[in-house]
Structure 1
Amino acid sequence: MACAPCAAPAMVLDTNATLDWLLFGNPGMNAIKASIQSGQVRWISCSRMRVELACMLFHPRLAAWGGDRTQALAVFDRWTQACPEPCDSRPSGPRCSDPNDQVFVDLALVYGARWLVTHDRALLKLARALRHRVAVVRPGDWHEP
């Protein structure tokens, strides 16, 4: 599904928030999961995010966690709205101290996401600088639209 404007507000989940939902079954993700699955919120992503998720799902240090990794990727594919990479039209704005996390910021800004959901300190540090463009929030601090 191509990324296009829609009535439902958009959300970006970073990889750790995505793992919380798809692998760990963290109950703190239940409200977000329900809003995405009901269509109240669109979960947007790009191919780089899917590649990073796949790498993490199959990383040896996560081997102790149960769960079907292939099924987790299928759920990701089912519920995300794939957008073109934001690299070609990089928005002006704050830069993340972790260059690997910049893609989440760029995607949120380019496609007008209302929320960027994360546990990542480097991303959370940008909350104030981004507050007029996108809300950078922890999963437990997110509220339905």
Structure 2
Amino acid sequence: MTPRRIVLDTNVCLDLFVFGDPRCAALRDALDRGVVAAVTREDCRDEWLAVLEYARLGLDDAARETGRALYDRYVTPFVAIDAVPALPRCGDPDDQKFLELAATAGAKVLFSRDAELLRLSRRTSRDHGFAVVTPETWGSPHASL
């Protein structure tokens, strides 16, 4: 079975790879079992590395290294060969890259907690073939992901 391609925004990566948020347990299990395959691109990974350095997170060197290693273990670089389609504009321009990645990588889902991204899910599902949902949606019995 071919894994479903997904995109993880930075906050979801924090939940998965640094804080071990139990709301992400089903998604983490899907990553472990190869049911889903997370992809990234250079600017998304750069944001991840920068966020790991934020003092307000209170991460020590070991936590940052673990976060980097888990990200690199579970998230594969993707290089788009197609032009970025006309996508809805995210209210937070810094998050537009995640929409672009999901569209160009053929992802089925963009996992996020960002209200600006989540607000666009109906349009991205209808017009671009991917949903924007919270990570706990993966484990929901009503989810059609």
TM-score interval, smaller chain: 0.7 to 0.9
Match of 2:134 in 1: 138
Contact 2:18 2:66 in 1 (8 A): no
Alignment RMSD: 2.1
The TM-score normalised by the length of structure 2 is 0.87
Q: Percent identity?
A: 34
* Deviating 4+ runs (over 3 angstroms): 64-67
Counterpart mapping for 1:1-145 below 5 A: 7-63=2-58, 68-84=63-79, 89-132=83-126, 133-143=129-139
What do residues 69-109 of structure 1 show as CA deviations (whole Å, max 9, x unaligned)?
Answer: 112101111111111268x7221221111111001000101
More helix by share: 2
The 1:19/1:67 distance shift into structure 2, 3 A limit, reads farther
Unaligned runs of 5+ in 1: 1-5
Contact 1:90 1:106 in 2 (8 A): yes
CA positional deviation for 1:66: 9.0
In structure 1, what residue type is equivalent to 2:130? V
Unaligned runs of 5+ in 2: none
